[in-house]
Amino acid sequence: MTQLKPILTHLDSIPSTPGKFKPDKSSPYNLYRLRFHPTLFPRFTLWSFFFIFFIVLLIFFSSPTNPTTGNSRRSLKNSLSPSPPLGPNWERRVRASARPRSKTGFTVLVTGAAGFVGTHVSLGLKRRGDGVLGLDNFNQYYDVGLKKARQGLLERSGIMVVEGDINDAVLLRKLFDAVAFTHVMHMAAQAGVRYAMQNPGSYVHSNIAGFVSLLEACKMANPQPSIVWASSSSVYGLNSKVPFSEKDRTDQPASLYAATKKAGEEIAHTYNHIYGLSITGLRFFTVYGPWGRPDMAYFFFTKDILRGKEIKIFETSDHGSVARDFTYVDDVVMGCLAALDTAKKSTGSGGKKKGAAQLRIYNLGNTKPVPVGRLVSILEKLLKVKAKKKVIQMPRNGDVPFTHANITLAHTELGYKPTTDLEMGLKKFVKWYVSYYGSKKKKSSW
């Protein structure tokens, strides 16, 4: 970590605070609140029904954790435990956090609020005047300390984060009884492609059962909130056609993570059809930036380069480059807020549908795939350290060789237009990383 101080002086003074998007009154995102552009949603196929049947079987036969897998497994909290105590005056604090600053502001429940994208979205909403209440279970998939630090950032901005699980129906009922949410921004999920090979039950528990639990709470609310939720580019799976379009088939998932996100899209269709919930799904493409996830390549590459450790760079079986459509988090926040602004109201009440409801799906990417080798080169330049690289063939762990987003639909209907290229985004990330971990270097083994 002796290299950290020169890096700080090397980097330009660039804002690295998450959720910096601040639309003004003339912003197209505010104007779009009054507009709706209908879009096609993929029809159910026979494969979809077989797929859902398979997932249902997984729900019954998978457990959230499997203690027999050995010490290599990271332990996750058992979120089936009773609701944690909310503390004194919890209802007053919940309502204060969720109260918008203006009569036109939204009242938004953000699940996964202490997660990477959830934190940025929560701050983006709060800064423009919406009321925000966060919910997060602080599981141990990665460093809980980082999640707690994000929570501190949110609380300093006036956002309360309730510690609890989306599978906890009693807790959800309490929150929905206390606050009449106009919108739900559902960012909570078990993330990561590779970890599904170690702990598959956690994906079913969080991404499927948890999503159903949340939709159940939303359907019974009166009035029902509009829902925007995080799907994933992983649903495109083994597709070879590029760039990936919302009209492309998504019935060939390459990982269990992808399969659970695909199942989520089908479940969203069902709740929209039966209960009149207004639901918008957003397929994120490799989101990166300050306060990011330590399990993602750009993050642990930075860590290992600074420590002088060897990093592994994947290549395809025919020695081709692995590439990702890296999307800076502030651009994703703009897409999320635009989806919220253009979401129509749900049409149901108390679990009963009264009319057809809005159902949409969008890609949120950068449209410029970058080889992972180029990512490493940029990090070497920013860190002023030469990486120790080892190129190996991509293992069969659910990863795909490339992602590439077609964002025409999001641009047309949401006004979505990413503006941050990879080098600029990584510059902001490295500035945050050095500041966050450098301040702790005396206490850290890093």
Over the stretch 40-99, which tens digit does the pLDDT of each residue have? 444 445 555 455 555 545 544 444 443 333 333 333 444 444 456 677 789 999 999 999
Quick check: 431 and 16 in contact, CB under 8 A? yes
Taking residue 266's Cβ as centre, other Cβ atoms within 10 Å add up to: 16
Q: Which residues of the chain have pLDDT under 50?
A: 1-2, 13-44, 49, 56, 59-82, 439-446
Model confidence pLDDT, tens digit, residues 241-277: 889 999 999 998 989 999 999 999 999 999 999 999 9
DSSP 443: T
User: So what's the pLDDT on residue 45?
Assistant: 52
DSSP 209: I
User: So what's the pLDDT on residue 48?
Assistant: 55
Taking residue 61's Cβ as centre, other Cβ atoms within 10 Å add up to: 9
Q: How far is CA 421 from CA 93, 213, 347, 363, 408, in A?
A: 39, 37, 40, 17, 18
Fold of 19-285+328-366+404-419: Rossmann fold (3.40.50)
Quick check: 393 and 256 in contact, CB under 8 A? no
- In the set 195, 257, 271, 416, the catalytic residue is 257
Active site residue 257: yes
Spatial CA neighbour of 433 closest among 325, 286, 307: 307
DSSP 186: E
Q: How far is CA 34 from CA 26, 337, 338, 344, in A?
A: 13, 14, 12, 9
Structure tokens at 440: 């702790």
User: So what's the pLDDT on residue 69?
Assistant: 35
Quick check: 209 and 369 in contact, CB under 8 A? no
3-class DSSP state for residue 163?
A: strand
User: So what's the pLDDT on residue 328?
Assistant: 98
User: So what's the pLDDT on residue 390?
Assistant: 87
